[in-house]
Structure 1
């Protein structure tokens, strides 16, 4: 359930440095050394306030550390003990431990029962405040506030939007390998707050978020026939988009949320179709004797990327949104599949099968810049963070007890991490930033 949250700017003075440029990470460089940053426990009265303050500080620390761009310093190294966030810190004490940035904050319970959380971000060497925000919310929504704080810090220090206040919808898998129960599930991007959206009575596959992050399409098998559902995450209401015999890949939304694009198998071959969600009118975009599948819109909605074996092997193609100008863009070794357009529009992620390995990689929309981010026994299903800097995918492990787990990797390919889930997990889809 979405919880109420109010956000206002903190009206505090900024302490300007006379000659030093504002602190910022250049994330366009391929080999970024993580920025040392000190994140103090948020101040609060003993009890609920202090406990919430420590918890929020921990989540902010974990978010920033997982991004690979920040190196949070140990609290044991801190010299100054913060007692008032409205008083500038002793910058020299933070320079001694080589901290470039400092985060301070406090938590207070309001008389109406709301939680007030505020923080300051300081440039230690420039001796100036970079930003400060204040949030009002219900006490049980503290974790989301922590993600919003991390987003604000990330944006101020990188110049790009954060991705921490987001969710992942995925397929949770349980039971023996030959009788897996697959439930549609959702969790925060860091693996917390997981819960099921379906009961496991029917097989579910390939969930996809709508642009407003409130609805999900997914494929389910009803009486052994593929059926596409549209589920409202907040209300739990779902509707049948349609029964599609021979569907080979679940639909994805258009950027405006008015259409879905999908692959349907009719007459012995699979082609790309769109459906208008209001009129339910279906339009065919490709017409080949091959298998055209796995379509994904560009963020501006003008183009679609998809995979096809029309040239003799699985490769990636791009066409205009009306089906015109279909052309191949992948020409490297191996078979390319599951292309997904970046929210930034600058890259297309893919799965590639080569030499017995499944790799996750990216290329530019014209096919240039093809490079591998990670490889292994079985990697599949890339999905983009909303800022286009991180990918999540699932990786299958070998053996009778093996199964899929979720992983993330950034565009450098060096920051790869497993995402915790309570069961096996596959088919992740990353939400847009929560509104």
Structure 2
């Protein structure tokens, strides 16, 4: 457990002197702000390296957002030792053109614990923006660093952070071919702390986190049968809700494309009968299955709005329009088409903020695009040989998607902001795809 304490001696100064900088990262170029991040100082030599490692992760997290550019430490004039016992010499930090300054200390917290004190300054105004103390186990030092980065990101941008999160993805084992094997993997958002969730004996696809972060739903093939399966996120074992193959036996040929409703106790998914797929709602508590669309076409990829009132999905019901995006009320009523551009639309996912829908589009090549919930203001933010399977960061301001390399046919996970200008590859060890982002962790 990691405890966060506001240093109240500085609270009034934090709240009254420097208002959070509201950053709207939706379109156009965003110029990153220069930020100086010192090593977290300790007089205890055994903790000095840990303080350096923590500040290094904070630096990497903030740069990953595309909103910050870390100044090299060789340029620093004032030392971390001086900052540990006194106030910043702001003229020194202005001289190296730093916009923000982060400095801190690390101390022994007793047993395996450590205590981190850090401060964030606005160098231009010379005012302190934030002062916090974190206590936790030294073995969780990376998690501590992600929390520090989240706090800084939130204070500067007035948006929630996304660094203390995890990702679950599908890893292809060995060479692609007839005996292909895939397994679920989990890692921190920066590609560290990788762990295996399934053994690769069964083919797995489409992992999805529940909004409360406690469950993971995914498609599992056992023999020739493909059904939605639910795993406990904490243990990696089958959840009490178990295998829907047994619960839904006799209802249809297969279930796939699961998404959790906001209550994390209900699923929406596709169910196939007679070669046609329709959207269903399944209550995990009562085991009640409710059809939302008829089996007249291929309806798939349902995703609820964050308030649970609407569901966006893909359908080919308009034979002339082909595969398009539709929105309906959560009870299946008031169905309306919202995509009207050229090409095929698929895999729509509602933003956690409710303001945007991301989708995959095929028009000659593949694209990742965004639109308003009513289908207006469509714009494309990523393109490539095969880009697909987008998902949102919990703050609704960043996205991940899969991009397949043309020569190797291997997948990689890419991250992009809402402008489309800041893209990077998420570190994974092998052929990776179908990534889902967890909510912000405790």
TM-score, with normalisation over the residues of structure 2?
A: 0.94
Distance 1:76 1:242 in 2: 57
SS in 2 for 1:324: coil
Q: Which runs of 4+ in 1 moved over 6 A?
A: none
Residue from 334, 343, 354 that aligns with 1:345 = 354
Q: How does 1:39-58 map to 2 (within 5 A)?
A: 39-58=37-56
The Cα of 1:46 is off from its aligned counterpart by 4.7
Give the deviation of 1:27 after TM superposition: 2.3
Separation in 1, partners of 2:314, 2:113? 50
Partners of 1:129 and 1:97 lie apart in 2 by: 18
Residue in 2 that maps onto 1:106: 105
CA contact (8 A) 1:15 1:128 kept: no
2:120 corresponding residue in structure 1: 121
Q: Tell me if the contact between 1:294 and 1:339 (Cα under 8 Å) persists in the aligned partners.
A: yes
Aligned residue among 280, 293, 313 for 1:273: 280
Deviation of the 1:111 alpha carbon? 2.3
Q: How does 1:163-182 map to 2 (within 5 A)?
A: 163-178=162-177, 179-182=179-182
Compared CA separation, residues 318 and 200, structure 1 to 2 (3 A) = same
Q: Does 1:396 align with 2:404?
A: yes
Q: 1:208 to 1:295 in 2, by over 3 A?
A: same
Give distance in 1, aligned partners of 2:45 and 2:378.
Answer: 53
Question: How far off its partner does 1:48 sit?
Answer: 3.1
Distance in 1 of aligned mates of 2:17 and 2:104: 25
Task: Tell me if 1:11 matches 2:1.
Answer: no
Could you tell me which residue of structure 1 aligns to residue 244 of structure 2?
242
Q: Deviations over 1:60-79 (max 9, x none)?
A: 11111010111111111111
Change over 3 Å in CA distance of 1:341–1:169 after alignment to 2: same
| Contact 2:18–2:128, Cα closer than 8 Å, also in 1 | no
- Measure how far apart 1:20 and its partner are: 7.8
CA contact (8 A) 2:206 2:219 kept: yes
Report what 1:418 is aligned to: 425
Q: Is the 8 A contact 1:120 1:132 kept in 2?
A: yes
Counterpart position of 1:151: 150
Tell me if structure 1 keeps the 8 A contact 2:183–2:197: yes
For the structure 1 residues 431 and 23, does the alpha-carbon distance in structure 2 shift closer, same or farther, using more than 3 Å as the test? Answer: closer
Where do 1:185-224 residues align within 5 Å? Answer: 185-224=185-224
State the Cα distance separating 1:25 from its structure 2 match. Answer: 4.8
| Structure 2: gaps of 5 or more residues | none
Q: How far is the alpha carbon of 1:161 from its aligned partner? A: 0.4
Distance in 1, matches of 2:430 and 2:35, equals 34
1:374-407 CA distances to partner (integer Å, 9 max, x unpaired)?
00000010000001111001111123x3311100
User: Is 1:363 the equivalent of 2:360?
Assistant: no
| Cα displacement (A) at 1:278 | 0.4
Task: Give, in whole Å, the separation in 2 of the partners of 1:393 and 1:294.
Answer: 15
In 1, the alpha carbon distance for the partners of 2:46 and 2:216 equals 36
Deviations 1:148-189 (A, max 9, x none): 000000000000100000000010112111033211110001
How far has the Cα of 1:9 moved from its partner?
Answer: 1.3
